Structure 1
Amino acid sequence: MLAGKSTLLRILAGKRLTKTKHCRILGQDVFMNPPGGVVYLGTEWSTNPVVRSDIVVSHFLDSVGGYRHKARRDRLLALLDVDLDWHMHQISDGERRRVQLCMGLMGEWDVLLLDEVTVDLDVLVRADLIDFLISESEERGATIVYATHIFDGLKKFPNKICHMQLGGTPRGLIPWPPLHADKDVGQEDLFTLALGWLREDRDLRREAEKAKGKVRGPKTDTKDRVAFYEKYDYSH
């Protein structure tokens, strides 16, 4: 998912109101009657000053109901390599992210909305987490919507992919791996496919910026530069 993925997940989680004020998950309106069993995990959590305070991880997890999900909590503590004696204000962003994942995943959710939360995990923990999510989907029938721009190690994870471009979905949902030859997918692996979509997005963005007279990168027009130096020339 690219260009609009975070906004989409926040809408699905009922955290951002739409113009129509209407969005349904599990048959219920997420704004007026939010369904149970929906979990949203986003990147903003680790920067929240509350979770950066001097609180021990074991106390923090108990405060959000960890004792009610002991078996799943303990499984996630081992999988995510979390130390219950950590102090939240002393650990790294990656370690704090592991605590967030343990907190969010220890209940038996039905729909999981993940927004870039694996970006600061190490390779081993990320791989184990992906395996856990696959098992949750296969064994419990849970639905996972995972927005990311990091595609390494995801070959076996999705059963559908969606390209978001400038707030839209130009190709709709695409089965993964492809069931047959698809002109939008071909026989490429997920990383190569996503890389092509990213290049396409960049070209569209550059065209839109050029139409507005905005260009990124080095300035080739020297007129503004000359005018600047003439304006601030104090040698006279």
Structure 2
Amino acid sequence: MTINNDGELLALDCDSLTFSWKEGDDPVLKDVNLSLGKGDRCLLLGANGAGKSTLLRILAGKRLTKTRSCKILGQDVFMNPPGGVVYLGTEWSTNPVVRSDIVVSHFLDSVGGYRHKDRRDKLLRILDVDLDWHMHQISDGERRRVQLCMGLMAEWDVLLLDEVTVDLDVLVRADLIDFLISESENRGATIVYATHIFDGLKKFPTQICHMQLGSTPRGMVTWPPADVPESEQDLFQLALGWLRDDRELRRAVEKQKGRVRGPKTDTRDRVTFYEKYDYSH
């Protein structure tokens, strides 16, 4: 059981997690460390392919790991998953069920919305959801709002968000962020939020975790930084600098392996390619 410096049980404790898709493959996560107390709000930053989604799915108990490296509220996330953990990812919107001809009110009731009427109605207002919408007729952004209402209407202890606000308009996203902040401050709920959109997030995180090529080289970074004047605190520029460093490191690593992204100068196979795929004759 992992305890923080105040003698309290950590809400989330990921200790030196290493994970590979198959045994013998290079790890996609290497010695990842992530520790959060109750009420912490962690912004998970990193380039595409850095391992953010893989980490969140492991924390949600959706990926089997052989190590007992990840615990939520003191319980192993896969062997003994705790209650009160909500994971919301982008893959939800591709499920054929949520694109079928079902009315939103019936859809929410089918997952227990009637048991959480007060929170459900609050989220319906925040997310600007119409209960008479038909799921197959609405936009991706509106469908995302329904997903968030469905996932957040029961009280949760730990929330794992993976790029689920990318479809939301600015106003709805801002209201949702305010709701999440209030949940952490008033109920002590813990949030890990992976996103590439930093507008309006300056007041959201209490911690930042930077993922770089599957690892967490900086550990947990407190936000806002105590040694930087408020007028100079720029979350976007901080992330941009880290991502530029990540790209240079990634290019160096790939170069050592003989891999280079972008256009190739070797076009020896161009004639063979066109002869193979030229259907004009």
Question: TM-score surpassing 0.5?
Answer: yes
Name the structure where strand makes up a greater proportion of residues.
Answer: 2
Percent identity, aligned pairs only? 86
Deviations 1:64-120 (A, max 9, x none): 000000000000001100010111111111111000000011011111111110011
Q: In the alignment, is residue 86 of structure 1 matched against residue 133 of structure 2?
A: yes
Q: In the alignment, is residue 213 of structure 1 matched against residue 276 of structure 2?
A: no
* SS of alignment partner, residue 88 of structure 1: coil
- Structure 1, gaps ≥5 residues long: 182-186
Deviations 1:14-57 (A, max 9, x none): 01111315521011122122111111111101111111111100
- Which sits farther off after the overlay, 108-117 or 208-217? 208-217
- Report if aligned partners of 1:39, 1:111 keep a CA contact under 8 Å in 2: yes
Name the structure where helix makes up a greater proportion of residues.
Answer: 1
Q: 2:54 corresponds to which residue?
A: 7
- How far apart in 2 are the matches of 1:49 and 1:230? 40
Cα pair distance change 1:203/1:73, threshold 3 Å = same
- Structure 2, gaps ≥5 residues long: 1-44
Which has the higher relative contact order, 1 or 2, with Cα contacts under 8 A spaced 6 or more apart? 2
Cα pair distance change 1:53/1:217, threshold 3 Å = same
Q: Displacement of 1:230 after TM fit?
A: 10
Task: Give matches, 1:60-71, under 5 Å.
Answer: 60-71=107-118
Q: Please point out which of 224, 228, 246 is paired with 1:201.
A: 246
Q: In the alignment, is residue 33 of structure 1 matched against residue 98 of structure 2?
A: no
Q: 2:196 corresponds to which residue?
A: 149
Cα pair distance change 1:175/1:228, threshold 3 Å = same
- How far apart in 2 are the matches of 1:196 and 1:117? 24
Task: Give matches, 1:49-128, under 5 Å.
Answer: 49-128=96-175
Q: 1:16 corresponds to which residue?
A: 63
Q: CA RMSD in A?
A: 2.1
Q: Displacement of 1:153 after TM fit?
A: 1.0
- How far apart in 2 are the matches of 1:22 and 1:98? 33
- How far apart in 2 are the matches of 1:145 and 1:22? 17
- Report if aligned partners of 2:224, 2:233 keep a CA contact under 8 Å in 1: no
- Report if aligned partners of 2:162, 2:195 keep a CA contact under 8 Å in 1: yes
Cα pair distance change 1:8/1:230, threshold 3 Å = closer
Q: 1:135 corresponds to which residue?
A: 182
Q: 1:184 corresponds to which residue?
A: none
- How far apart in 1 are the matches of 2:275 and 2:109? 65
Q: In the alignment, is residue 176 of structure 1 matched against residue 223 of structure 2?
A: yes
- Report if aligned partners of 1:22, 1:31 keep a CA contact under 8 Å in 2: no
Normalised to the residue count of structure 1, the TM-score between the two structures is 0.90
Aligned length, in residue pairs: 228
AA aligned opposite 1:217:
G
Q: Please point out which of 236, 247, 255 is paired with 1:191.
A: 236
Q: Displacement of 1:149 after TM fit?
A: 1.5
- How far apart in 1 are the matches of 2:110 and 2:64? 29
Q: Displacement of 1:227 after TM fit?
A: 7.8
Cα pair distance change 1:122/1:226, threshold 3 Å = same
AA aligned opposite 2:145:
R
